[in-house]
Amino acid sequence: MSLRYALLALLNVEPMTGYDLYKQFESSVGYVWHAPDSQIYPELRRMERDGLLEGEEVAWGTKGRKRQYHVTDAGREAFRTWVNTQLDYPRERDPMHLKAAYLEWADPDAARSQLLAHAEHYGARLLQWQQKIQEIDGGTSDMLNRRLATFPSADHSRVAAFKRFTYEGLTARAESEIAWAQRGLALLDELYPEDSSGTAAT
């Protein structure tokens, strides 16, 4: 259900085509919420059917056509309702932590490489999110600047602050996951001292 609101959030800034939105999901918003094109196009149609968006066929080249969507009043209202409404939290479901609970079944090397991969996964995300924070601070975020243009300047600090706040949360989470993976690697060295391949070779 969040896909709908992620799309509304982007279209609140300016009208876009499905493909424009898809690219956003591959970069900026995609770092918080991902969706593939095969989910975006049908959802846009449904949102139009539900009156949240209006689509307009636009010529593209000589024979090409594309469909540009803009948010309706009902769409803006639905978005405002969403931001004001309490989420319900799904029950816990985390594959890596589930697996970690049974790591005594694993090869020490396989366990090591998975914890390393865990740290690397979140390391990569950490970099992306930190970069986003730098873009916000430096005023070089394209999307944020366009979003700011839709707000009176008195609200600009808020808009930027909440965006920064979001990425701060994600970086904190990434750091916590990395620290956890590293504690896991240390634990493996402790529990299987005979072969500490990769960690303290020689």
Please report how close the Cβ of residue 198 comes to DNA at its closest, in angstroms: 28
Q: Residues 49-53: contacts with CB within 8 Å, 24+ apart? A: 51/75, 52/4, 52/8, 52/78, 53/11
Q: Residues 169-177: contacts with CB within 8 Å, 24+ apart? A: 170/31, 170/32, 170/125, 170/129, 171/126, 171/129, 171/130, 171/133, 173/122, 174/122, 174/123, 174/125, 174/126, 174/129, 175/122, 175/126, 177/118, 177/119, 177/122
Task: Kindly indicate which of the ranges 7-15, 28-36, 70-78, 151-159 contains the residues binding DNA, using the contact rule CB under 7 A.
Answer: 28-36
For a copy of itself, the closer of residues 61 and 162 by Cβ is: 162
Of 10, 11, 22, 71, which lies in the binding site for DNA, with binding defined by CB under 7 A?
22
Task: Kindly indicate which of the ranges 19-27, 104-112, 129-137, 168-176 contains the residues binding DNA, using the contact rule CB under 7 A.
Answer: 19-27
Of 35, 126, 133, 185, which lies in the binding site for DNA, with binding defined by CB under 7 A?
35
Count, residues near DNA per rule CB under 7 A: 31
Please report how close the Cβ of residue 57 comes to a copy of itself at its closest, in angstroms: 29
Cα 201 to chain centroid, rounded: 37
Partner whose binding site includes residue 18, from a copy of itself, DNA, none (CB under 5 to 8 Å by kind): DNA
Neighbours of 52 (CB within 10 A): 24
Please report how close the Cβ of residue 95 comes to DNA at its closest, in angstroms: 8
For a copy of itself, the closer of residues 34 and 56 by Cβ is: 34
Does the protein bind DNA through residue 131 (CB under 7 A)? no
Query: Of the candidates 72, 17, 66, 74, which has an alpha carbon nearest to the alpha carbon of residue 40?
Result: 17
Q: Which residues bind DNA (CB under 7 A)?
A: 1-3, 17-20, 22-23, 34-39, 41-42, 44-45, 60-67, 88, 90-91, 93
